[in-house]
Chains A and B, each alone.
Chain A
Amino acid sequence: MSDVVHVMSEDHKVCDDYFEQAEAAAGSGDMVGCAARFEVFRGALLRHFRQEEEVLFPGFEEATGNTMGPTRMMRQEHEMMRELIERMRLAAEAASAEEYLGAADTLMVLMQQHNMKEEGILYPMCDSVLADQWGELHMKMQDIPPE
């Protein structure tokens, strides 16, 4: 299956995996390992955001004529997540496991409730309004390089 729901939800899972690997390292006090794994996670998550903000959301907004609805809310939450990601980056750099874990746990809750809204509501909406253009949009999204 290669519709919005499946492709983008699968990407959430990939990001979750990277997140967990970095967090596990921080939890066991290995901040060097954490920093390396965090960079992989950060790259994957920020790429996912850009795929949505630069391709999927504009496609949705154009098809529905609605720029103030769900996509605006999703963009706001992306901003909040970027801020937490930055805190995690600084904490990993400073090798502070406690700071890292505090920000990571918060990101986890924010990210999961965000994903729930996308997977349960926004992606299904995208599938119903973007069915004709999805192939093209999907290619454009794959052209976005990892951060």
Chain B
Amino acid sequence: MIQPGLSFEQAPPLAVPFRFFLLAPFFLLASGLLMLALGPAALASRWAPETLALTHLVTLGFVAQTMIGAVLQVLPVVAGSPVIHPGGVALTTLLGLNGGTLLLVFGFLAASPPALQAAAALLALGLGAVVLAAGVAMVRGKAAASPTVYGLRLAFLGLAVTVALGVLLALALAQGLALPLQKVVSAHVSWGLFGWVLALVAAVAYQVVPMFQMTPQYPQSLSRWLLPALFLGLSLRTVTELFSGSETLLHLLDGLLGLLVLGFGAATLRLQQQRRRRLRDATLMFWQLGMGALVLAAALWLGGLLVAPLAEDPRLPLLLGVLVLGGFALSVINGMLYKIVPFLVWFHLQARGPGKSPLKSMKDVLTDRMAQGQFYTHAAAVLLLLGAVLAPAWCFYPAALLTTLSAAWLARNLIAAIGVYRRALPALVAGA
């Protein structure tokens, strides 16, 4: 006889995801300030230490931080199994991820081998803990198998590969190991952006895009095969690049990956156009921007494979980086935060008992006007960042300024949301 679910009872306390959500915008803020401090050198080349520092502030400090916070929240629901010791796992990850990110950034900027080594250890610990905990929860999970559940499993596999390659790279840099650095970096980047970020976004999108906007479902052929094909492609690509070196095969695999990414972005935009809920809120605007940037990135990537001069232009990888990280990942996450955070605040106050909460709805936590204001700032920042790659003299400082402003605005909105919770709670506890 099955033991019916203690499962979805055990959503973690509000503090677990919120610590991640509240820290994250400060890393974006730091990336904007770092751009202002470093000047155009920050975006000069994908290999510059300044650019690496900037990239990791965003990928680890913001992207990984928010995605992990959100996964710890939804895993009990989606996988049908709670995370064991959620408090302990969250704390280990929080300390490892934040400490490791700061040390890594310092290690890049100061070219300090001890800092890079310590960063590698902390990141391995923090991210290893969450990969392990999520892995256990998903293996034990009782949820009906769905593309979302499979997608989550693949995303954590992607995270594990990304972290392993990243730790290897940090150690290689610190100790001067003889590694084919460029090839390992290429594998690290492709697993991080596609095996982890895109896989998680797709897994979540299969559920939330049809659900919240009332669009048709993703075509089954896509939701069933996209991520397995992506992972097969990524694995073959990594093996080919590291061990066989066949340029033709690598080209073909890169083309396949580009088409898969393009397919996902285009399908999502198409579904959103067919949505039956006509209301256009901040979350939808962020997602449309994100998918648009993803489609553009994939098109540019495919263009680079076909047109040799484009491929050789050193600005191409930077443009792709801005589009995929700033345009796609940041937008999609930012948009989700505006659904998740107000809902959790409302829900946790409501759960104190019927008729007690002073909030009428999520809108009392954060108005759509504040969220939309930040959206326009963010969208302008992304455009200017693209400009900063192409015409640094004109666009670099405005881009840095708007990036900083958008991050500060996001931080302000999230802090205001938690403030609503803090102010309402004492009366509810006293009256209970």
Q: Which of B4-12, B106-114, B248-256, B387-395 contacts A (4 or more CB under 8 A)?
A: B4-12
B281 to chain A, nearest CB (A): 7
A103 touches which one: B142, B277, B351, B361 (CB < 8 A)? B361
* Residues of B contacting A5 in the complex (Cβ-Cβ under 8 angstroms): 144
B278 touches which one: A16, A24, A79, A87 (CB < 8 A)? A24
Given A27-B279, A66-B4, A16 contacting B361 (CB threshold 8 A):
no
Q: In this assembly, does A64 line the interface, its C-beta being within 8 Å of a C-beta of chain B?
A: yes
- Pair A70/B361 contact, Cβ less than 8 Å: no
A14 to chain B, nearest CB (A): 13
Q: B-side binding surface: helix, strand, loop or mixed?
A: loop
Q: A-side binding surface: helix, strand, loop or mixed?
A: helix
Q: In this assembly, does B92 line the interface, its C-beta being within 8 Å of a C-beta of chain A?
A: no
By the criterion of a CB under 8 Å from any partner CB, how many residues of chain A are at the interface? Answer: 40
In A83-100, which residues have CB < 8 Å from any B CB?
A: 83-84, 87, 99
CA separation between A65 and B212, bound complex, in Å?
35
- Pair B351/A87 contact, Cβ less than 8 Å: no
- Pair B212/A106 contact, Cβ less than 8 Å: no
A42 to chain B, nearest CB (A): 17
* Residues of B contacting A113 in the complex (Cβ-Cβ under 8 angstroms): 77
CA separation between A64 and B5, bound complex, in Å?
11
In B360-395, which residues have CB < 8 Å from any A CB?
A: 360-364
- Pair B277/A20 contact, Cβ less than 8 Å: yes
A137 to chain B, nearest CB (A): 17
Q: In this assembly, does A40 line the interface, its C-beta being within 8 Å of a C-beta of chain B?
A: no
- Pair B4/A102 contact, Cβ less than 8 Å: no
* Residues of B contacting A105 in the complex (Cβ-Cβ under 8 angstroms): 279, 281, 361-363
Chain A, residue nearest B6 (CB): A69
* In the complex, per-residue mask of B55-98: 1 if CB is within 8 Å of any chain A CB, else 0: 00000000000000000000001101000000000000000000
* Residues of B contacting A83 in the complex (Cβ-Cβ under 8 angstroms): 350, 354-355
Footprint of B on A, CB under 8 Å?
5, 16, 20, 23-24, 27, 60, 64, 66, 69-70, 72-73, 76, 79-80, 83-84, 87, 99, 101-103, 105-106, 108-110, 112-113, 116-117, 119-122, 124-125, 128-129
